[in-house]
Chains A and B, each alone.
Chain A
Amino acid sequence: MWKLLVLLPFFAFAAWGEAAAVVKSVSGEARLIKNGVERAAQKGDKIEVKDKIKTLKNSNLSLIFSDNTVVTVGQNSEFSVDEYLFEPSEKKGRFGGNLQKGSLACVTGLIAKMNPESMKMQAKTATMGIRGTYFLIEVEE
């Protein structure tokens, strides 16, 4: 009984707090900004829509999304997830990534396979449609 009570909040979280991605690795120093609060990003952190990631010099951070999209954010970068939806049972998926600064590399997952419109990456004023691939984007200042 005691164990059941302890497990309860965990399952409640898993049901309602669907994260878009999880931090797979951090090398050097990276920051996570959630609801306007900034702190150090750590391996295992859950990333939700509107969260922002900042990396410092000689640092990088990797994310794995629920649809198995993999993103590595390079050094001196700022990246946020503007839109994310993945409902495999309903065949619904949308991915809107936004690179404000720096660079990223990405291997797409299941969302990009759903239809040609489902995945977009914005970098400054340019928006790219992603049709399932391995690619990199760099904002050169």
Chain B
Amino acid sequence: MFGCSPKVNVVVLPEEGGKVGAVEYVGVDGQKQVLDKAYEAIAIDKSGESKKANLDAATVAQKYGSLLSAMPNPPKSFMIFFGSESASLDGKDLSVIDEAVSYIKSQKAVEVVCAGHTDGLGQKSYNRELSLKRAKAVSELLSKKGVDERLIVVRHYGCANPLEKVEKGKSSPKNRRVEMIVR
């Protein structure tokens, strides 16, 4: 029983597109180990002692294939933009909404966030209200187009989360938007 103390294995993997981030581990000796190359691994025993290794794609696929193949697609965003001081979708090109709806259905989405935003023109409280109206307009249209409304979460951020940084008080068409995040 005491002979088989648990060991922790960590492996860093390449993201889609080959990007590799980093995992850090500070050992009992205070030494920091950084894993920042694809398939770099570390084994840590119960006492905190660690040993680094370089694995390869084939070894990782063989050992962890069933875990990695269960990873779902990452969330996907769809963006629709609004006119100045408007929360209306009338007369707009709604193809992005249709695209989102078919993605929601094909992915069997479990959550759809409608996050409303404004640009920096006007009062904060006015912008919060406007961003909510925009988010609600999109969420209502999604449910009209057959998305189960229990999946939809409405969020509004006013002008606090701009897509592009602009000078304070300046208008910005890019920031007047609702982001649909499909999970």
Cα distance A141–B23 when bound, in Å?
Answer: 22
A126–B75 touching, CB < 8 Å: no
Q: Secondary structure of the A side of the interface?
A: strand
Give the residues from 1 to 46 in chain B that come closer than 8 angstroms, CB to CB, to chain A: 4, 6-15, 20-26, 35, 44, 46
Give the residues from 67 to 83 in chain B that come closer than 8 angstroms, CB to CB, to chain A: 67-68, 70-72, 74-75
Give the residues from 101 to 143 in chain B that come closer than 8 angstroms, CB to CB, to chain A: 108, 110-111
The answer to whether A43 has its CB under 8 Å from any CB of chain B is yes
Residues on B with beta carbons closer than 8 Å to the beta carbon of A137: 8-10
Give the residues from 117 to 134 in chain A that come closer than 8 angstroms, CB to CB, to chain B: 123-134
The answer to whether A35 has its CB under 8 Å from any CB of chain B is no
Which of the residues B8, B20, B66 comes within 8 Å of A138, measured between beta carbons?
Answer: B8
The answer to whether B89 has its CB under 8 Å from any CB of chain A is no
Q: Secondary structure of the B side of the interface?
A: mixed
Cα distance A103–B60 when bound, in Å?
Answer: 13
User: Closest residue of chain A to B10, judged by CB?
Assistant: A137
The answer to whether B154 has its CB under 8 Å from any CB of chain A is yes
Which of the residues A22, A23, A88, A105 comes within 8 Å of B161, measured between beta carbons?
Answer: A88
A70–B157 touching, CB < 8 Å: no
A89–B15 touching, CB < 8 Å: no
Cα distance A50–B40 when bound, in Å?
Answer: 31
How many whole Å from A35's CB to the nearest CB in chain B?
Answer: 22
A136–B15 touching, CB < 8 Å: no
Residues on B with beta carbons closer than 8 Å to the beta carbon of A103: 64, 67
User: Closest residue of chain A to B111, judged by CB?
Assistant: A22
Cα distance A126–B71 when bound, in Å?
Answer: 24
How many whole Å from A45's CB to the nearest CB in chain B?
Answer: 9
Interface mask (A44-87 → B, CB under 8 Å = 1, otherwise 0): 10000000000000001010100010101011000000000000
Cα distance A104–B15 when bound, in Å?
Answer: 16
B110–A44 touching, CB < 8 Å: yes
Q: Which residues of B contact A (CB under 8 A)?
A: 4, 6-15, 20-26, 35, 44, 46, 48, 64, 66-68, 70-72, 74-75, 108, 110-111, 149-151, 153-154, 157, 160-161, 181, 183
New A-B contacts (16) at CB < 8 Å, excluding given A43-B108, A68-B181, A133-B13:
A10-B150, A11-B154, A22-B110, A23-B110, A70-B72, A72-B68, A89-B157, A89-B160, A103-B67, A126-B8, A128-B23, A128-B25, A133-B21, A133-B22, A135-B11, A135-B13
